[in-house]
A = this chain, B = another copy of it.
Amino acid sequence: MEKNLPNIAVIGLGLIGSSIAHAAKQNGAAASITGFDHSQDVRNEAKQINLPITLTEDICSAVIDADIVFLAVPVGAMAEVVTNIISHLKPGVIVTDTGSTKQSVIDDIQPLLPDSIFFVPGHPLAGTEFSGPSAGFPSLFRNHYWLLISDDEMKHPVAILAAFCKKLGAMVEVMDAEYHDKILAITSHLPHLIAFTIVGTASDLEHDLKNDVIRFSASGFRDFTRIAASDPTMWRDVFMNNEVAVLEMLQRFNEDLSYVQKAIRRGEGEKLYSLFERTAEIRRSIIDVGQATD
């Protein structure tokens, strides 16, 4: 075994937490992997699928020997988890999280931590619409960005955590929390909010029409339902904790939507055409930077 491998602890064994365990095991990235989930059902499921992790029956035993602690719980639950583990953490431990909002998590956690504990907020840009321990898999992070929040990427704990994430196959970028929250608001939070909303709109249709919408769900809507099937608790917490950036992007989106609405009402096809041409370029850019394969 490689020298100096960290003992890691994973709190929260959903899609992300269980994937961290799988990936750490498969890539030989940790000396030991302990884990806990506050739900007995989730712990049982983790046991049943032989998640490569030493499950503990209480949260404190999970973290007591850890060099790196991953908080993979909904962002609304971070503060409570930290409160529960704080007195059991080793001095010098690195605590990180995997939440989709960063400023709110920092505001919640940082004040609780003594100087002997290093908090490096993180966010792996990886996921599927599935939840729970069974949804995890070892290659989830491979070739995906894992964003770390710091004003100095040369800091020792940041460098250690970055090295660990890279071992799981991720590409690491360091940025500040405000910028992170803005980027995620437009790339992830707003798209999810819109998908949840339009699927909700469809579910309010009269009974027959709704059934046929389900039956004839063409590609556009079907993609939205996949996005809108994501974990409700996680996403409620995201919107509760990144409201400033989400509302700002939502306002811009609303203005743009009014513009296309007006263009449709007035029969101004050329305005629509020029928008639709422009959006195809963005797709090409994403393909060019390797974030989509087709």
Q: Are B264 and A246 in contact (CB under 8 A)?
A: yes
Among the listed B186, B190, B257, which residue makes an inter-chain contact with A254, where contact means beta carbons less than 8 Å apart? B257
Task: Note all chain B residues with C-beta closer than 8 A to A220.
Answer: 187-192, 195, 227
A-B contact pairs, 24 of them (CB 8 A): A127-B219, A173-B216, A183-B209, A184-B216, A186-B202, A186-B205, A187-B202, A189-B220, A191-B224, A197-B253, A199-B279, A200-B279, A201-B249, A204-B252, A215-B291, A217-B292, A223-B226, A230-B280, A236-B269, A236-B276, A240-B264, A240-B269, A243-B264, A250-B257
Task: Note all chain B residues with C-beta closer than 8 A to A188.
Answer: 218-221
Number of copies: 2
Report the bound CA distance from A225 to B292 in whole Å: 10
Task: Note all chain B residues with C-beta closer than 8 A to A280.
Answer: 228-230, 232
Task: Note all chain B residues with C-beta closer than 8 A to A222.
Answer: 187, 286, 291-292
Q: Given A200-B275, A228-B283, do A187 and B243 touch, yes or no (CB 8 Å)? A: no
Interface residues on A, range: 35 or more
Task: Note all chain B residues with C-beta closer than 8 A to A278.
Answer: 200, 203
Report the bound CA distance from A212 to B291 in whole Å: 11
Report the bound CA distance from A220 to B226 in whole Å: 10
Report the bound CA distance from A236 to B229 in whole Å: 30
Task: Note all chain B residues with C-beta closer than 8 A to A235.
Answer: 272, 276
Q: Given A252-B201, A265-B243, do A276 and B196 touch, yes or no (CB 8 Å)? A: yes
A184-B216, A237-B269 known; 6 new pairs, CB 8 Å cut-off, are A188-B220, A196-B260, A196-B275, A197-B257, A228-B280, A232-B280
Report the bound CA distance from A195 to B282 in whole Å: 12
Residue-by-residue, is A243-281 near B (CB-CB < 8 Å gives 1, otherwise 0)? Answer: 100110110111011001101110101001101111111
